[in-house]
Amino acid sequence: MDLRTVNELIAGSVGGAAQVIVGQPLDTIKTRAQVAPKGMFNGPMDILKQTLRNEGFLALYKGMASPLMGIAGVNSLLFAAYAASKRVVSPFPELSLQQIAVAGAMAGAANAILASPVEMFKVRMQGQYGSKDDKTLRATVRDMWVKYGFRNGIMRGYWITFAREIPAYAGFYTAYEFSKRRFAKRYGKDIPVWAVLASGSTGGLAYWLSSYPLDVIKSRVQLRDAPPVGTPVRYIAHEFNAILAESGFSGLFKGLTPSLLRSIPAAASTFAAFEITREYLLAYTGV
């Protein structure tokens, strides 16, 4: 394996771990806003209050084990796929923003392979509200495998995750690179750390703004007791229509506020950890 790719894998793992630790509480609020039964909560602040009152502070970290265990693979694949995609899109190191968007979309498509099961188990853990019947992650994995197998259990929601990741990472990397280049014009090649954080936050905001309705559909598909029926287009359309029938157009954006708030520190910490680790590895390995 190319040493550059190894460096990308390691740096991506560190960045991903930082993202999970920083962003999990708001991600839990976001997921519960998307999938909770109608009338259970009155907005994100009510979710926070009820979660703390009924389940305690650690409930905000429900489902963290799944992304934390899988984030090394997910983010390693993402950053490595992005680096490889950039080389496929153009032989030149400085890509245009349009080329960055294409490379980001390609990386997102590759990332869906690992992101789908990680997201599915995270969502199912976050969709438990502290009752005596709540399951551990191990029990959830076992039940999904025994009842539904690999395709309808472990990989449930793969195609909607795939559909989400393409615009999400096209927007993510394009916004990040745009912001970073603007800062570079002012500060030169060695932009300050705060500018890297700001650029990462911009990327995080673009991620959700470009893909949020698909994320709502994904969460609902993954949380349902029964697996989706029919072709991916059919069950995605069915879930889309169900959301409109239940909550109207605004239902496609339930939980958007905590997602946007989460994206600022989470994406900033991801890119800061990734860039710092990659710079260290560059100095250590020379590539």
pLDDT tens-digit map of 39-71? 899 999 999 999 999 999 999 999 888 888 887
Q: Is the pLDDT of residue 9 over 80?
A: no
Query: Domain with 84 in it: what CATH number?
Result: 1.50.40.10
Residues 6+ apart with CB under 8 A from 216: 34, 243, 251, 252, 253, 254, 255
Determine how many CB atoms are found less than 10 A away from the CB of residue 50. Answer: 18
Q: Is the pLDDT of residue 1 over 70?
A: no
Q: Is the pLDDT of residue 263 over 90?
A: no
> pTM for this structure?
0.87
For 167, 261, 264, 275, the CA distances from 193, given in Å and listed in that order, are 27, 20, 15, 9
101: nearest Cα among 92, 111, 91, 89: 89
Counting residues of the chain whose pLDDT is more than 90, the rounded percentage is 66
d(CA 115, CA 156): 11
Q: Is the pLDDT of residue 264 over 90?
A: no
Enclosing H/E stretch for 10: helix 3-35
Let me know: does 27 contact 48? Beta carbons within 8 Å: no
How many domains is the chain partitioned into structurally?
A: 1
Mean pLDDT of all residues belonging to the chain: 91
pLDDT, residue 7, reads 84
Distance of CA 119 to the CA centre of its chain: 8
pLDDT tens-digit map of 136-153? 999 999 999 999 999 999
pLDDT, residue 106, reads 97
pLDDT tens-digit map of 190-222? 888 888 888 888 998 999 999 999 999 999 999
pLDDT, residue 191, reads 86
pLDDT, residue 192, reads 87
Give me the domain span that covers residue 57.
3-285
pLDDT, residue 68, reads 80
d(CA 181, CA 73): 28
d(CA 217, CA 251): 10
| Residues 159, 34, 126, 149, Cα dihedral to 10° | -30
d(CA 64, CA 123): 10
